[in-house]
């Protein structure tokens, strides 16, 4: 029942089309009743002297019925497929839109391939059920019922013999239904694992080739593919049984009708014409059940898939707009962390009782050992996560009372790991401000020192840069990221180790672009190369989740603590590299 309720929900707004499909199916079903009855009339005319018939009229009626059957079959197929494709489109969009609302912590626990499988493969399985399963199920119920009704009208005694195998077939089929559904859920889950492995391998193909791990990764794909194959074989071994059972029961029904009906015909208890109708109808009565059994696979796949999709849609986010969230009229852009405690695991805090103020238009740098929580600061400002204790304030407002879109529209980020979409250079830049003029896009690229390499590309701004920008160097991707942030023109800027993986010459170009980007913006710099933040207004040194030192470069050097040791260590390392 839960499955049917979920399907009914998905059909909202499209139930009229599905009703049209079922209506055409009913016409097709009733059209199937008439030809044998007309031929029965013809046989009676030939074999019984007291019955008259119009051969021309019967032929014309049969022609019209077959035309009607053809139109009805087209109609129920057309309406069901249009309904299914619209549901598929709506559901794919709905799933993706829902995924965008889920918090970062959800994605930290999920594999991309699994989410893709649920968003595409499972949705396609549901589409297959709606386009084929629903109308065929309706026909499988209506055709046998109507034919059995006609048979009881013609000869109740023989009709009882004809339907004798049906309860046995229904009982045997029912025994397998729940078992098959569990099996197909396992198949869908195994498919998700296989897609996840393939997605991981294709995304990391450069690493695989660099470490000569092709054979190892291919073996992993083989193992997951074998598991998927075995699950499919196991599920089909059981799910194909109903079709075999119904085929056998249908044959038994025909044998019983021929044996009993032949005996009755010899005793003149039934006419040859009526026996002909029984034999023809028996070929149709069990055929829909056979189709229904074959669609059992479609049903079970859809049931497993719809369960997985609705599980995903049931995922909730705790990062939402407050009921009283309003856009401030007069906004300042200072940032304050007040008594803030946060951990990705609630029992293991990354930041503990942190207090830090970033004045509007100033530059504050965060430094410290790897894994101490520097990037976490940047994630808390746009509310990718909420603190467990304390608060983050922007312009004096707790970020939890500001509308999410408003908050994030006024924050730009330049990260170490730059993500570029498969598309042109222009497409990736204009993400910073959709609808920006060509002049604005080019001006942002110029300010980011990216114009020279963009114009040297084969099609300039219209050059396809490949998935994740694989055709560009790290420095080129970083400058596009800076141009994107410049185009956004947000008052708050987060720079997360933006120059940590480029050469010295490229670093100089990036630093020049960053100086232009930081001008008059409230900037949080998460620094790896300490040489890049010596001119920051303040430098905060994180130690074990707490701010251990705070001041400008010279103050911290005079303090001669962790920051000073880190600077001297990097200076030695740089001198060694140059030497």
The CATH number assigned to the domain holding 565 equals 3.40.50.300
User: Residue 575 above 50 pLDDT?
Assistant: no
Decide if 470 is inside a domain: no
Q: What confidence tier does 297 reach under pLDDT thresholds 50, 70, 90?
A: low
- Domain C-terminal end among 281, 313, 345: 313
408 neighbors 437 (Cβ within 8 angstroms)? no
Residues 183 and 37 in one domain: yes
pLDDT number for residue 399: 92
What is the number of residues in the chain? 579
CA dihedral 398, 401, 402, 405 (to 10 degrees): 120
Residues 20 and 85 in one domain: yes
**Mean pLDDT computed over 18-35:** 86
pLDDT number for residue 577: 43
Residues 161 and 221 in one domain: yes
Whole-number percent of the chain with pLDDT over 70:
89
Q: What is the mean pLDDT of the chain?
A: 82
Residues 57 and 197 in one domain: yes
Residues 62 and 145 in one domain: yes
pLDDT number for residue 579: 39
389-394: strand order across its sheet: 351-358, 335-342, 389-394, 397-398
Compare 506 and 334 and report the one with higher pLDDT: 334
3-class SS of residue 326: coil
Decide if 426 is inside a domain: no
Decide if 65 is inside a domain: yes
**Total structural domains in the chain?**
2
Residue 528's closest CA among 547, 542, 509, 513? Answer: 542
pLDDT number for residue 392: 94
Decide if 438 is inside a domain: no
User: Residue 416 above 70 pLDDT?
Assistant: yes
| Domain span holding position 162 | 2-313
Residues 392 and 254 in one domain: no
* CATH number of the CATH domain containing 293: 1.20.1560.10
Compare 479 and 299 and report the one with higher pLDDT: 479
Residue 273's closest CA among 143, 154, 152, 149? Answer: 154
Whole-number percent of the chain with pLDDT over 90:
10
pLDDT number for residue 292: 65
518 neighbors 344 (Cβ within 8 angstroms)? no
Decide if 9 is inside a domain: yes
Distance in angstroms (rounded) separating the CA atoms of residues 461 and 453? 10
The predicted-structure confidence for 343-353, as pLDDT tens digits, reads as follows 888 788 889 88
Residues 186 and 116 in one domain: yes
Residues 307 and 348 in one domain: no
3-class SS of residue 120: helix
Residues 398 and 280 in one domain: no
Residue 105's closest CA among 357, 388, 309? Answer: 388
Decide if 416 is inside a domain: no
pLDDT number for residue 211: 66
pTM for the full predicted model: 0.72
Residues 283 and 344 in one domain: no
Bridge partner residues of 494 (DSSP): 413, 524
Using DSSP bridges, classify how beta strands 522-526 and 492-496 pair: parallel, antiparallel or unpaired: parallel
User: Residue 234 above 70 pLDDT?
Assistant: yes
User: Residue 225 above 80 pLDDT?
Assistant: yes
Residues 158 and 10 in one domain: yes
Decide if 238 is inside a domain: yes
Backbone angles phi, psi at 283, to 5 degrees: -70, -25
- Domain C-terminal end among 249, 283, 313: 313
Residue 422's closest CA among 203, 201, 112, 197? Answer: 203
Decide if 197 is inside a domain: yes
Q: Name the E strands within 61-205.
A: none
pLDDT number for residue 298: 74
- Domain C-terminal end among 313, 345, 376: 313
Residues 339 and 302 in one domain: no
């Amino acid at each position: 029942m839960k499955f049917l309720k979920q399907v009914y929900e998905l059909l909202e707004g499209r139930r009229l089309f599905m009703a049209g499909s079922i209506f055409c199916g009913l016409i097709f079903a009733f059209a199937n009743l008439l030809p044998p009855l007309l031929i029965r009339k013809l046989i009676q005319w030939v074999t019984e002297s007291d019955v008259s018939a119009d051969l021309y009229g019967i032929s014309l009626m049969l022609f019209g019925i077959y035309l009607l059957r053809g139109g009805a079959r087209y109609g129920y197929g057309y309406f069901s497929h249009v309904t299914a494709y619209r549901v598929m489109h709506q559901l794919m969009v709905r799933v993706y839109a829902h995924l965008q609302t889920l918090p970062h912590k959800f994605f930290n626990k999920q594999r991309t391939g699994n989410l893709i499988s649920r968003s595409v493969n499972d949705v396609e399985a549901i589409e297959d059920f709606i386009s084929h399963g629903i109308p065929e199920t309706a026909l499988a119920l209506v055709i046998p019922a109507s034919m059995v009704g006609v048979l009881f009208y013609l000869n109740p005694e023989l009709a009882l013999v004809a339907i004798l195998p049906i309860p046995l077939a229904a009982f045997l089929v029912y025994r397998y239904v729940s078992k098959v559904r569990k099996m197909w859920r396992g198949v869908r889950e195994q498919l998700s694992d296989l897609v996840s492995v393939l997605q991981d391998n294709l995304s990391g193909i450069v690493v695989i080739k660099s470490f000569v791990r092709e054979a190892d990764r291919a073996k992993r794909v083989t193992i997951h593919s074998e598991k998927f194959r075995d699950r499919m074989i196991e599920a089909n071994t059981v799910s194909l049984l109903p079709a075999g059972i119904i085929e056998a029961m249908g044959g038994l029904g025909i044998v019983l009708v021929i044996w009993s009906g032949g005996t009755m015909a010899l005793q003149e208890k039934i006419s040859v014409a009526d026996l002909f109708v029984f034999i023809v109808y028996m070929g149709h009565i069990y055929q829909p059940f056979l189709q229904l059994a074959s669609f059992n696979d479609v049903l079970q796949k859809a049931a497993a898939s719809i369960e997985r999709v609705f599980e995903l849609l049931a995922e909730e986010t705790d990062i939402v707009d407050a009921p009283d969230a309003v856009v401030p009229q007069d906004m300042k852009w200072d940032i304050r962390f007040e008594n803030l405690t946060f951990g990705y695991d609630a029992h293991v805090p990354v930041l503990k009782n942190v207090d830090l103020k970033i004045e509007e238009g100033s530059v504050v740098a965060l430094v410290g050992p790897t894994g101490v929580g520097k990037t976490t600061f940047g994630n808390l400002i746009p509310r990718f996560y909420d603190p467990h204790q304390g608060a983050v304030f922007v312009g004096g407002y707790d970020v939890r009372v500001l509308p999410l879109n408003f908050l994030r529209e006024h924050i730009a980020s330049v990260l170490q790991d730059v993500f570029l979409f498969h598309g042109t250079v222009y497409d990736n830049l204009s993400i910073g401000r959709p609808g920006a003029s060509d002049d604005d896009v080019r001006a942002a690229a110029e300010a980011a020192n990216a114009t020279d390499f963009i114009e040297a590309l084969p099609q300039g701004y219209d050059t396809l840069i490949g998935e994740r920008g694989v055709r560009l160097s790290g420095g080129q991707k970083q400058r596009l990221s800076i141009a994107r942030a410049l185009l956004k023109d947000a008052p708050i800027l987060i720079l997360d180790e933006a120059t940590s993986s480029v050469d010295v010459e490229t670093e100089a170009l990036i630093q020049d672009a960053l100086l232009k980007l930081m001008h008059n913006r409230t900037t949080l710099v998460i620094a790896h190369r300490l040489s890049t933040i010596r001119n920051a207004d303040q430098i905060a040194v994180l130690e074990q989740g707490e701010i251990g030192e705070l001041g400008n470069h010279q103050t911290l050097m005079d303090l001669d603590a962790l920051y000073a040791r880190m600077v001297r260590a990097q200076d030695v390392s740089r001198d060694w590299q140059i030497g």
